[in-house]
């Protein structure tokens, strides 16, 4: 039996396919969503929404019917579509006397500790005011090509849930559950009601389906569950057109697939885990073993340095661990092949002779 009665903060992600109808917003659907959200909010829950659909709405406004593939066109469509989308949200929530707010995010905002704290202040203020914050990616300035995009709103919604310490993330989509295989291709596929942990087998169940305007598929949804789970947040994946889907999920009805929350990592560990790495170093196996035993990573274990990064950046170690590096790429390079006694002298008195301390090391697996 699912029990979300104690869930206080709920992030709801609404996908493009649900929101659009005839290349515009499906106002009837949005009205139903606003009604359901008003109902659960009336029970004292704090609700945050992550919306998709800006690119699709912009394309519709321009009379474009096919998938937008060009980066510049995608950016243009997002800036045309986003205000149209927000106008629809405003109208839908106004009926219930609820004020909404728009927050557009880039990956850098969440990666950077200072802008993240600013974001947290504004979100907390909005929630205290009883306003519903509505998030989307700032698609007109962040693109995958320059490496600063979240890529899809499934991931974005999980990162928002993690940052605001949500208890529950609800991903509403046009598929009713995670299946053992893609149900559109495999008639033997059966729905999976509960996922205790995202394992490679569970990831293998998720194909890579998408649609003309949205970017996510089942895989990005399972990966979102993984991010949420590490923040101690459960995730429910359900069909967004199911009657009264939100109140029924909260009442514990077994709709869709629930991904149970995992052990909640500390906020700093989550920040390391979810940050886009700025570079990569390769270390010997002994150093990896030591890191797994909560020991510091020392410069003498490093064999290769890739990329240019600063002290304080998050980088990969052998692509098995993420660390906040205490030394920049040039410093680490200058120490390659040096004995630890030399390293102390080369770094000088003021500098710590560690690449990363145990609290700056996270193993994603
Ligand atoms: N941010 C995109 C939009 O609003 C959607 C991304 C997604 O579908 O995951 O159009």
Q: Using a 6 Å cutoff on CB, does residue 326 contact ligand 1?
A: no
Strand-pair category, 257-259 with 234-239: antiparallel
Residues 6+ apart with CB under 8 A from 263: 230, 232
Measured in angstroms, how far is the CA atom of residue 98 from the centroid of ligand 1?
Answer: 24
Q: Using a 6 Å cutoff on CB, does residue 139 contact ligand 1?
A: yes
In the chain the first and final C-alpha atoms are separated, in Å, by 28
CB 51 within 8 A of CB 134: yes
pLDDT interval class at 210 (50, 70, 90): very low
Extract the tokens encoding 112. Answer: 């950077």
- Residue 132 to residue 3: CA distance in whole angstroms: 24
Q: Per residue in 232-262, pLDDT tens? A: 999 999 999 999 999 999 999 999 999 999 9
- Residue 365 to residue 363: CA distance in whole angstroms: 6
Given a cut of 90, is residue 291 above it in pLDDT? yes
**Section 194-221 average pLDDT:** 75
For residue 27, what is the domain's CATH number? 3.40.1160.10
Given a cut of 80, is residue 230 above it in pLDDT? yes
Residue 3, in any domain of the structure: no
Q: Using a 6 Å cutoff on CB, does residue 215 contact ligand 1?
A: yes
Q: Using a 6 Å cutoff on CB, does residue 149 contact ligand 1?
A: no
Q: Using a 6 Å cutoff on CB, does residue 216 contact ligand 1?
A: yes
Looking at 269, 295, 319, the residue that finishes a domain is 269
- Positive or negative torsion for Cα 161, 166, 172, 175: positive
Looking at 250, 269, 288, the residue that finishes a domain is 269
**Exposure class string for 287-303: b at 16+ Cβ within 10 A, else e:** bbebbeeeebbbbbbbe
Q: Using a 6 Å cutoff on CB, does residue 16 contact ligand 1?
A: yes
Q: Which has more pLDDT, 166 or 347?
A: 166
Q: State pTM to two decimals.
A: 0.90
Phi, psi of 209 (to 5 degrees): -75, 150
Q: What is the pLDDT of residue 211?
A: 43
Measured in angstroms, how far is the CA atom of residue 28 from the centroid of ligand 1?
Answer: 20
Report the residue among 139, 175, 219, 223 best suited for mutation to probe ligand 1: largest number of ligand atoms under 8 A from its CB: 139
- Residue 4 to residue 251: CA distance in whole angstroms: 7
DSSP-assigned letters across all residues of 104-152? EE-HHHHHSHHHHHHHHHHHHHHHHTT-EEEEEE-TTT--GGGT----S
Residue 1, in any domain of the structure: no
Q: Per residue in 140-197, pLDDT tens? A: 987 665 555 676 899 999 999 999 999 999 999 998 999 988 887 788 889 999 999 9
Q: Using a 6 Å cutoff on CB, does residue 17 contact ligand 1?
A: no
Phi, psi of 14 (to 5 degrees): -115, 120
CB 153 within 8 A of CB 217: no
Residue 2, in any domain of the structure: no
Look up the domain containing 216 and give its range: 9-269
pLDDT interval class at 53 (50, 70, 90): very high
Q: What is the pLDDT of residue 67?
A: 85
Identify the H or E element spanning 10.
strand 9-14
Q: Which atom of ligand 1 is nearest to the CA of 137?
A: 1
Helix orientation angle between 218-230 and 267-274, rounded to the nearest 10 degrees: 150
Together in a domain, 193 and 287: no
pLDDT interval class at 212 (50, 70, 90): very low
Q: What is the pLDDT of residue 181?
A: 85
Looking at 269, 299, 321, the residue that finishes a domain is 269
Q: What is the pLDDT of residue 213?
A: 45
| Percent of the chain predicted with pLDDT > 90 | 69
pLDDT interval class at 216 (50, 70, 90): low
Measured in angstroms, how far is the CA atom of residue 93 from the centroid of ligand 1?
Answer: 21
Together in a domain, 351 and 204: no
Residue 4, in any domain of the structure: no
Given a cut of 90, is residue 71 above it in pLDDT? no
Q: What is the pLDDT of residue 186?
A: 82
DSSP-assigned letters across all residues of 258-313? EE---PPPPHHHHHHHHSPP--EEEE-HHHHHHHHTTPPBPGGGEEEEES---TT-
């Amino acid at each position: 039996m699912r029990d979300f009665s104690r869930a206080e903060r709920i992030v709801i992600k609404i996908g493009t396919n649900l929101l659009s109808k005839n290349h515009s917003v499906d106002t009837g659907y949005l009205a139903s969503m606003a009604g359901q959200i008003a109902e659960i909010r009336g029970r004292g829950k704090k609700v945050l929404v992550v919306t998709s659909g800006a690119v699709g709405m912009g394309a519709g406004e321009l009379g474009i019917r096919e998938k937008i593939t060009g980066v510049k066109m995608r950016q243009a469509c997002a800036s045309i579509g986003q205000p149209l989308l927000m106008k629809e949200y405003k109208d839908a929530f106004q009926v219930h006397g609820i004020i909404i707010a728009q927050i557009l995010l880039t990956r850098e905002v969440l990666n950077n500790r200072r802008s993240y704290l600013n974001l947290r202040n504004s979100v907390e203020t909005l929630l205290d005011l009883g306003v519903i914050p509505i998030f989307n990616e700032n698609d007109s300035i962040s693109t995958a090509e320059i490496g600063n995009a979240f890529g899809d709103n499934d991931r974005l919604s999980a990162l928002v849930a993690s940052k605001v310490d949500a208890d529950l993330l609800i991903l509403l989509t046009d598929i009713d559950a995670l299946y053992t295989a893609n149900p559109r291709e495999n008639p033997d596929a059966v729905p999976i009601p509960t996922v205790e942990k995202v394992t490679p087998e569970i990831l293998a169940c998720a194909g890579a389906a998408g649609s003309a305007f949205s970017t996510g598929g089942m895989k990005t949804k399972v990966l979102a569950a993984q991010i949420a789970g590490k923040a101690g947040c459960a995730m429910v994946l359900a069909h967004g057109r199911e009657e009264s889907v939100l109140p029924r999920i909260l009442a514990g009805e077994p709709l869709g697939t629930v991904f149970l929350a995992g052990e909640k990592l500390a906020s700093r560990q989550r920040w390391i885990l979810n940050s886009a790495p700025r570079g990569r170093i390769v270390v010997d196996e002994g150093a990896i073993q030591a890191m797994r035993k909560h020991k510091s990573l020392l410069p003498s274990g490093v064999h290769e340095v890739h990329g240019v990064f600063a002290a304080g950046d998050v980088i990969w170690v052998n692509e098995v661990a993420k660390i906040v590096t205490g030394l920049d790429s040039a410093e680490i390079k200058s120490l390659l092949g040096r004995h630890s006694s030399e390293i102390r002298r080369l770094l000088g008195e003021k500098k710590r002779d560690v690449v990363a301390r145990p609290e700056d090391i996270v193993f994603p697996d």
